[in-house]
Structure 1
Amino acid sequence: MTTDILKERQAWTLAQKVDHALATIDVFISRMGGIDKVYCSFSGGKDSTVLLHLCRVLYPDILAVFCSTGNEYPEIIQFVREQAKKGANIQVIRPEITPRQVWAKYGFPLVGKETAQKVHKVRFNPNTVTASIIMGTGFFCLAKKWRYLLTEPYETSSQCCDILKKRPFHKFEKITGRSPIIGVMADESDLRKGQYIKAGGCNVFGEKAASRPLSIWTEADVWQYIEEQRLDIAEIYHKGAARTGCMGCGFGAQFADDRRFSILLDNHPKAYDMVMNYTNNGVTFREALRKALAVNGRYLPDEEPKNLFTSPSC
């Protein structure tokens, strides 16, 4: 598998990609020994909604597994319940601890996963070769504007996803012996692109078997499929949300076009206040996020300086 081959496949028509995804799912389930040996990872977001629809075209009774972390938009929870009422075979799993406990113990999710990992490595192992590389000037260094995080009284962490999502799914897989069908796309990041190329395609077999039927799809493909198939999606998308991951996640919130906290404040002010009051080492998430946003000249939605062009929650 090469980058050029991936680009060629990403340029296919949606009809070609649908056929490819269905074949990918069918081959994976057949190789794994039937639908009792697999599950569809279902987050309630648009991508996994498309994935579950594709899986159910071939296998209407396939098991979908939703991890309720306690950090989802209420609209996502409601959507998952609605799909179950309509006949989807959905099992709910949960992490062992709450988001509040994760942030208190491990730190806040700020800036981005890679940045958080670098901050953690330097803070806890400052005298290693890895730390010296991170603090250098090369490609893998920690950007200077985020180095203030190294001396903050609170910790910065990328542990949220692992503890709240990955661990519950891994536990489920170990107990049931099922392997996942996942709705990730290579188009989402360089990391996902590299994983697809390294895997050599959408299906991976062996000890860590997994299927990623949407790997060659793009965001535009997902929306086109939703429109063509007239699929219901979670209401939060109609309220302005571009993505529906954890509602309180700070990863990427510093970018100028990100409105996640404005949307959260507008639609769920109590949840917004709850997240802002999570603490680590006696510091609130509000305080930590405020400082991270300020680096890029941004403000929390309820702290934005007022002017003639400012909407109530911008």
Structure 2
Amino acid sequence: MDPATFMQKQSLPYQAKIRHAELRAREYYDRLNGAVYVSVGGLDSITLLTFLRETVAKDIPGVSVSSLEDKSIQAVHKDFDNFVSLKPLKSKVQVLREFGYPVVSKMKARKIEHLQKPDNPKQTFIHALMTGDMGEQGKFQHSDKIKLPDKWLRLFAGLYNDHRPDLECKVAPFKVSDRCCYWMKEQPCDLYAKGTGRKPYMGLMASEGGQRELGLMKNGCNYYGKTTTRSCPFAIFSRQDLLQLALDLKVQVPEIYGEIARDPDGTLETTRAQRTGCTMCGFGIHIEKRPHRFDRLREDNPKEWKFWMYDMGWGVVLDYIGVEWETPPIIQTELPFETAV
């Protein structure tokens, strides 16, 4: 699917998007003779599982590494029948200690990981990360997409400061990595898929941006590749579409999200967390307003918050990247929302 066609579908009316999602989901189910499952995490995929069981087949299994999720999400998972809970191949503690902390974004964390390797043999790539200059292999072109922003170079590129003598770059007192999802979510689900012959539905939406947007715009809702087969029926949805569908289906909303409500201009929002993930994930934390995800963890599970912040060093990480965490935020007592129905 070309980007123009995909963007055109994103502008369809809500009911047309619902019909489109149902058609793509049914098409995928029929092509795979029902050998499918839903990869379930937070509200988006909980809504997807509910939607598919109402529109495609009631016996589609849900599959999740539930132990990584917030306890309120785990509680919703337990209310589903035909639901498989997998175990991560490595624990959260193992991943942090072996590979490093998931901060900034997956793509940028991968780049930072290269910059933290002493005597990295990929010097052309290191130079591209530092300057954007591609060298001979890149036909001496410049790419701001490859270059890591100066903000992060200053914090993490100290080993290769000679590539950018105009910056004062530091060596961080901790490692950064994007490999947490691989060991804790992706591999367990891949092993489940190989063992059962089932292929996943996923609750991804291009409107979330980043790598998800690029992948969905390139490959469309349903993708049948040599190594990857997956369906994302909600690919063209906006956040508003997803929340409206959750309301229409009367989806059980985990407590971490609060309620689905309308703000004064009619926009649907969740009154607490907007997005969730693994309780120790730091991707995107630097752009969240307070109360951010770790503030909510402190409120919901002080013991776990203390463990991550102090025992496992997340406090040091957040201090280093400039995210406040130790002093509780001032929280508005009355939110300007109306409960949506």
TM-score (norm 1): 0.87
Q: Which residue of 1 aligns with 2:123?
A: 128
Q: Which residue of 2 aligns with 1:102?
A: 95
Structure 2 SS opposite 1:135: helix
Q: Which residue of 1 aligns with 2:295?
A: 262
Structure 1 position 198 matched with structure 2 position 229: no
Q: 1:154 aligns with which of 170, 174, 193?
A: 174
Q: 1:243 aligns with which of 257, 262, 275?
A: 275
Amino acid at match of 2:215: Q
The alpha-carbon deviation at position 194 of structure 1 amounts to 2.0
Measured in 2, the distance between the counterparts of 1:108 and 1:243 equals: 19
Measured in 2, the distance between the counterparts of 1:230 and 1:237 equals: 15
Q: Which residue of 2 aligns with 1:227?
A: 247
Q: Which residue of 1 aligns with 2:320?
A: 291
Measured in 2, the distance between the counterparts of 1:224 and 1:72 equals: 23
Q: Structure 1 stretches (4+) deviating beyond 3 angstroms?
A: none
Structure 1 SS opposite 2:37: strand
Q: 1:303 aligns with which of 327, 332, 337?
A: 327
Q: 2:59 aligns with which of 39, 58, 61?
A: 61
Amino acid at match of 1:287: V
The alpha-carbon deviation at position 227 of structure 1 amounts to 1.7
TM-score (norm 2): 0.80
CA change 1:248–1:223 in 2 (3 A) is same
Amino acid at match of 1:144: D
Q: Which residue of 2 aligns with 1:178?
A: 198
Superposed CA offset, 1:203-262 (max 9, x none): 112432211101011100011111222221111111611112112211111125251111
Q: Which residue of 2 aligns with 1:90?
A: 83
Measured in 1, the distance between the counterparts of 2:213 and 2:90 equals: 31
Structure 1 position 47 matched with structure 2 position 39: no
CA change 1:272–1:9 in 2 (3 A) is same
Superposed CA offset, 1:168-205 (max 9, x none): 11111111111111110111114222212321x21112
Q: Which residue of 1 aligns with 2:263?
A: none
Structure 1 SS opposite 2:285: coil
Cα pair 1:104 1:278 within 8 Å, conserved: no
Amino acid at match of 1:112: S
Gap runs ≥5 in structure 1: none
Cα pair 1:46 1:222 within 8 Å, conserved: no
Q: How many residues align?
A: 290
Superposed CA offset, 1:120-155 (max 9, x none): 112222652111100114412122222222412321
The alpha-carbon deviation at position 287 of structure 1 amounts to 0.8
Give the fraction of aligned pairs with identical amino acids, expressed as a percent: 29
The alpha-carbon deviation at position 165 of structure 1 amounts to 0.7
Gap runs ≥5 in structure 2: 133-142, 158-170, 259-270, 333-341
Structure 2 SS opposite 1:277: helix
Q: Which residue of 2 aligns with 1:119?
A: 112
- Pairwise CA RMSD: 1.9
Measured in 2, the distance between the counterparts of 1:256 and 1:226 equals: 24
Structure 1 position 144 matched with structure 2 position 168: no
Q: Which residue of 2 aligns with 1:275?
A: 308
The alpha-carbon deviation at position 65 of structure 1 amounts to 0.5
